[in-house]
Amino acid sequence: MKRGYLNRPFLLLLSVLLVLSGCAPYASAGPGATLPAAAPTSPSLYSSAANIEAVKKVAVKYLDGWTRDDYSSMYPLLTELSKDAIKADEFARHYQGVAIEAALGGVEYEIRSVLVNPDTAQVRYSVTLDSVLVGDIQRETVMNLRLENGNWKIEWDDTLLLPELQGGNYLVMNRTGYVPARANIYDRIGLALVAQADATAIGLLPDEIDPASADSLFATLSELTGMPVSNIRALYESAPAGAGWYVPLGEVSAGLVSSQYSALANQPGVRLRPYKSRFYFDGGIAPHVLGYVSAIQPEEVEEYKRQGYQQDERVGRSGIEKWGEEYLAGKRGGALYVFNAQGQPVTRLAEVPAQPSQAIYSTIDRDFQVAAQRALAGFRGAIVILERDTGRVLVMVSSPGFDPNVFEPINANSAQMRFAFGSDPNQPLLNRATQGQYPPGSIFKIVTMAAGLESGQFTPETTYQCGYFFDELPGARLHDWTYDYFLQNGHTIPSGLLTLPQGLIRSCNPFFWHIGLTLYNAGLTTAISEMARGFGLGKPTGIIGLDEAAGQIPDPVNPVDAVNLAIGQGDMLATPLQVANFVAAVGNGGKLYRPQVIEKIAPLQGKEIQQFKAELIGRLPLAPEMLEVIQQAMQGVIRGEAPRGTAWHVFTGLDVPVAGKTGTAQAASGAPHAWFAGYTFAERKDKPDIAGVVLIENVGEGSDYAAPVFRRIVELYFSGQPQKLYWWESSLNTPITSTVTTEGTALPPLIVPPAP
- Would you say residue 677 has pLDDT above 70? yes
Task: Specify if 356 maps to a domain.
Answer: no
Residue 629: helix, strand or coil by DSSP?
A: helix
CA distance 170 to 347: 11
Higher-confidence residue of 322 and 732: namely 322
Contacts of 756 by beta carbon, 8 Å cutoff, 6+ apart: 442, 481, 485, 507, 646, 662, 664, 701, 702, 703
CA distance 719 to 722: 8
* pLDDT tens-digit map of 136-187: 999 999 999 999 999 999 999 999 999 999 999 999 999 866 788 999 999 9
CA distance 480 to 47: 85
Q: Are residues 262 and 132 in the same domain?
A: no
Q: 686: which DSSP letter?
A: S
Cβ–Cβ under 8 Å, residues 637 and 584: no
- Would you say residue 38 has pLDDT above 60? no
Mean pLDDT for 187-209 is 94
Q: Are residues 712 and 568 in the same domain?
A: yes
Strands 463-466 and 598-603: unpaired
Task: Specify if 321 maps to a domain.
Answer: no
CA distance 646 to 643: 8
Q: Are residues 124 and 266 in the same domain?
A: no
Per the prediction, the chain carries an average pLDDT of 89
- Name which of 664, 636, 665 is nearest 648 in CA terms: 636
Cβ–Cβ under 8 Å, residues 115 and 47: yes
CA distance 410 to 398: 27
pLDDT of residue 255: 87
* pLDDT tens-digit map of 442-493: 999 999 999 999 999 999 999 999 999 999 999 899 999 888 887 877 777 8
Cβ–Cβ under 8 Å, residues 525 and 555: yes
Contacts of 3 by beta carbon, 8 Å cutoff, 6+ apart: 170, 172, 339
Q: Are residues 207 and 167 in the same domain?
A: no
CATH number at residue 520: 3.40.710.10
Chain-centroid distance of CA 324 in Å reads 11
Q: 468-490 as b/e, with b when 16 or more CB fall inside 10 Å?
A: bebebeeeeebebbbbebbeeee
The percentage of the chain sitting over the pLDDT mark of 70, rounded to a whole number, equals 90
**The CA-based dihedral angle spanning residues 573, 577, 580, 581, taken in that order and rounded to the nearest 10 degrees:** -100
- Would you say residue 519 has pLDDT above 70? yes
Cβ–Cβ under 8 Å, residues 5 and 102: no
pLDDT of residue 420: 78
Task: Specify if 522 maps to a domain.
Answer: yes
* pLDDT tens-digit map of 311-321: 889 999 999 99
Q: Are residues 208 and 155 in the same domain?
A: no
Cβ–Cβ under 8 Å, residues 379 and 697: yes
* pLDDT tens-digit map of 249-299: 999 998 888 888 888 888 899 999 999 999 999 999 999 999 999 999 999
- Would you say residue 7 has pLDDT above 50? no
- Name which of 737, 403, 725, 438 is nearest 577 in CA terms: 438
Q: Are residues 111 and 224 in the same domain?
A: no
* pLDDT tens-digit map of 630-653: 999 999 999 865 558 999 999 999
List C-alpha distances in Å: 599 to 361, 542, 544, 580.
5, 16, 11, 19
- Would you say residue 95 has pLDDT above 70? yes
**Number of C-beta neighbours around residue 606 at 10 A:** 8
Chain-centroid distance of CA 693 in Å reads 19
Task: Specify if 538 maps to a domain.
Answer: yes
List C-alpha distances in Å: 402 to 136, 204, 425, 431.
42, 20, 13, 10
Task: Specify if 387 maps to a domain.
Answer: no
List C-alpha distances in Å: 668 to 577, 698, 719.
21, 10, 38
Task: Specify if 509 maps to a domain.
Answer: yes
> Of 281, 307, 327, which marks where a domain is finished?
281
CA distance 518 to 459: 13
Q: Could you tell me which residues are beta bridge partners of residue 270?
A: 204
Beta strands in 366-424 (DSSP E): 381-387, 393-399
Q: Are residues 235 and 146 in the same domain?
A: no
- Would you say residue 26 has pLDDT above 90? no
The percentage of the chain sitting over the pLDDT mark of 90, rounded to a whole number, equals 76
pLDDT of residue 579: 98
User: Residues in the chain, how many?
Assistant: 756
CATH number at residue 76: 3.10.450.100
Q: How confident is the model at residue 14 (pLDDT cuts 50, 70, 90)?
A: very low
CATH number at residue 208: 3.30.70.2110
Tell me phi and psi for residue 710, to 5 degrees. -65, -40
CA distance 507 to 448: 12
Task: Specify if 401 maps to a domain.
Answer: no
> Of 281, 298, 328, which marks where a domain is finished?
281
Give the DSSP per-residue string, 738-751.
S---TT----SPP-
Between 37-46, 128-137, 411-420, the lowest mean confidence (pLDDT) is in 37-46
Q: Are residues 92 and 218 in the same domain?
A: no
pLDDT of residue 12: 38
Q: How confident is the model at residue 24 (pLDDT cuts 50, 70, 90)?
A: very low
CA distance 171 to 397: 49
**Number of C-beta neighbours around residue 625 at 10 A:** 9
CA distance 118 to 120: 6
Q: Are residues 603 and 698 in the same domain?
A: yes
Task: Specify if 365 maps to a domain.
Answer: no
Q: Are residues 154 and 215 in the same domain?
A: no
- Name which of 226, 227, 196, 188 is nearest 366 in CA terms: 188
CA distance 683 to 675: 25
CA distance 563 to 584: 26
Q: 330: which DSSP letter?
A: -
Q: Are residues 604 and 522 in the same domain?
A: yes
Q: Are residues 555 and 692 in the same domain?
A: yes
Give the DSSP per-residue string, 511-542.
HHHHHHHHHHHTT-TTHHHHHHHHTTTTS---
> Of 255, 281, 307, which marks where a domain is finished?
281
Please give the tally of structural domains in the chain.
3
- Would you say residue 5 has pLDDT above 90? no
- Would you say residue 45 has pLDDT above 80? no
Q: Which domain holds residue 685?
A: 441-719
pLDDT of residue 230: 87
- Would you say residue 43 has pLDDT above 60? no
